Structure 1
C-alpha cells in the first residue's frame, strides 16, 4: 500500500499572487495502527489539530487564486511548526544527546517536534520511540513540507519581487480579564522580525474591517515556520494567523459550522489585501 502524501498543494499551478498559504496543523490522515501506540484516547489526540483550518485555506485558494500547502499528516505524528532539533531527548530509546538539540519552552511543555505530553492527559505514547522512527518522520514529512514551502515562496518572490507567507492556525477561544476586549484573531510576526511593519498593520486592518477583534503577538507570536521562512531583508515576509475556532466550527468545536464561509472570506480578503499592499511597494519602487 502506498504511503499517504504528507501534504497537499492548493491553488493555481502558475502563481497569480505573491501571497502563499501554509496550514501545518490541520492534518487528519491518522495512520491505521496509531491508536495502538497511544496512552490517550484518539479524540484527545485530535485536540492537537487546528480543526478544519484547512477548509478555510481551500476556500480562500479557490476564491482568491492563492497557492499554498496543507498538511495531511497530523500534528500528533510530527509538528511542522517546530525545528528538527526541538526534540525531548527522554522520549526516544536510546535517549538523544547532543548540543544541537533545542530545549525550547514548547519542548519542556511536552509539545516538541514529536509531541510527548498532552494536558491534562499526560504522556501520549505507550512506549518510547526509536531514534530511527523519529528520523523517518523528519525525512518523509517535515523536510519535504518545508522544502516545498520554500520553493513556493521563492517562486512568488521571483515572479512578483516579493512574497508573503500566511501561516494559518486556529486557537481555542481566549479568556480575557473582565472588562478587556477578547481577541478573536491574533497576528504574529515574531515581534517584527519575520515581516515588515506595514504587512502586520495591513493584516490588522483587514481583521478590523471584517469586524474581528485582533491582537498582535499576544499570546501567539509565531514559531519555527516564521523563523525559517520569514526573511524581510530578502523580500520574503511571514505572519502567523491565529483564528478563534469557535468562529467557524459548530458548538463542540469538532465539525464545520455556519461561520465557516464568513471566516474563509476573511482569509481570502486578507490574502488579497496583503497582495495589494506589497504590489504597491513594487510599483512605487519601479516608478522611482
Structure 2
C-alpha cells in the first residue's frame, strides 16, 4: 500500500514528492527512509541549473530506495523521496539557507551559521558533490520557501507520523535512514575503504546495543564496516533518535562501489547480490529486535 506526497506548482505539476510503501500489516518496530535517492529532475529545475543532466546527479544516493525495497515485505514501512537531493535536502533543518543564493527577502529565522550552509549543502543546496555550483542565477526567495512548505514539511510530517505509529504499536521505534557514499571514502590510518558505515550521532541517536547489533550482523555477512566516521548521521538521525523514549535512529551508508558505476549512474551486475544481502540484513536485524523485545518481556514477568 502506498501513500503519496502533495503536488507543488514550482515542480512538475503532476509530480509526486515522496511515497510511503506500507506493509499489509506492520509487524516490526522498524521504519526505513530513503531521503536522497530521488531521481525526478524536472525540466524547470534543469533549465535553472548550470549543470547538465548527468552532472547534477552527483549528490544522488543511487538506487538506495531499491536496495532496501524489500522492507515492506518484512512488515516495515519504507518512505522514499522522488525529488532529488540537489533540489531540496530533507536531511537538514528546515531553514539552513544561504541568503546569497536568493533574490528577495528570507525570514529572519534562517540558519546562516550552519557548517552545512557554509559548505554549500544547506536545505536548498548551492552545490553538488565536488563543489560544483548548481544554479546559473539566484533563486526567487518565494520559490525556495515554497519548496520547504510544500515538500519539506509534508515529508517530515509523514516520517514523524510513521515513527509515532510505530512507537504506539510496539512500544518502541527504530528508524533506519538509508544512504550511499562515494566508493572513494576511506577511514583509519591505513585508509581502508569500508563497505558500510553505521552512524548513531556518536551514541546519542540510538542505544549502543542497537548500533552494535547492526554492525555485528553486517560484519558476520562479510561487509567491512565503520562506525560514525566519516558519517555519523544528519538532521534526520539527530531529530528522530530519542533513545530515552525508546525511539532510535541509525544512518546506514552503503558504498556505491559495491553496486553502481559512479560515472554513468548505472547499476553493476553486483546490484542484485547486494540487494539480497541487505534483505538478509533486514531479516537478521528484525530478529535481533524481536529477541530484545522477548528479553524485556521475560524480565518483566
Instruction: Give 2:52's aligned residue.
Output: 41
Offset of 1:251 from its aligned partner?
6.7
Offset of 1:234 from its aligned partner?
1.4
Are 1:184 and 2:199 counterparts? no
Instruction: Give 1:172's aligned residue.
Output: 182
Match 1:278 to one of 265, 285, 289: 289
Match 1:56 to one of 57, 62, 67: 67
Instruction: Give 2:166's aligned residue.
Output: 156
Instruction: Give 1:69's aligned residue.
Output: 79
Match 1:234 to one of 245, 257, 262: 245
Q: How far apart are the structure 2 equivalents of 1:275 and 1:5?
A: 30
Deviations 1:43-85 (A, max 9, x none): 1111110011111021x22553331101001111100111112
Instruction: Give 2:257's aligned residue.
Output: 246
Offset of 1:120 from its aligned partner?
4.4
How many residues are paired up? 287
Q: How far apart are the structure 2 equivalents of 1:35 and 1:273?
A: 41
Q: How far apart are the structure 1 equivalents of 2:110 and 2:72?
A: 41
1:160–1:279 Cα contact (<8 Å) kept: no
Deviations 1:170-229 (A, max 9, x none): 000124578453211100000011000001001101110221100000000001011111
2:104–2:142 Cα contact (<8 Å) kept: no
Q: How far apart are the structure 2 equivalents of 1:260 and 1:64?
A: 20
Contiguous gaps of at least 5 residues in structure 1: none
1:6–1:140 Cα contact (<8 Å) kept: no
Deviations 1:251-270 (A, max 9, x none): 74611222222222233233
Instruction: Give 1:24's aligned residue.
Output: 35
TM-score, normalised relative to structure 1: 0.92
Instruction: Give 1:206's aligned residue.
Output: 217
TM-score, normalised relative to structure 2: 0.88
Secondary structure of the structure 1 residue equivalent to 2:252: strand
Deviates more, 1:80-89 or 1:171-180: 171-180
> Does the C-alpha gap of structure 1 residues 68 and 177 become closer, same or farther in structure 2, counting only changes over 3 Å?
closer
Q: How far apart are the structure 1 equivalents of 2:107 and 2:149?
A: 19
1:40–1:121 Cα contact (<8 Å) kept: no
2:50–2:133 Cα contact (<8 Å) kept: yes
Deviations 1:228-252 (A, max 9, x none): 1111111110000000011112474
Offset of 1:133 from its aligned partner?
0.7
1:246–1:253 Cα contact (<8 Å) kept: no
2:205–2:248 Cα contact (<8 Å) kept: yes
Instruction: Give 2:4's aligned residue.
Output: none
Secondary structure of the structure 2 residue equivalent to 1:112: coil
Higher relative contact order (CA 8 A, sep 6+): 1
1:63–1:268 Cα contact (<8 Å) kept: no
2:232–2:251 Cα contact (<8 Å) kept: yes
Instruction: Give 2:127's aligned residue.
Output: 117
Offset of 1:119 from its aligned partner?
5.0
1:90–1:96 Cα contact (<8 Å) kept: no
> Does the C-alpha gap of structure 1 residues 89 and 13 become closer, same or farther in structure 2, counting only changes over 3 Å?
farther
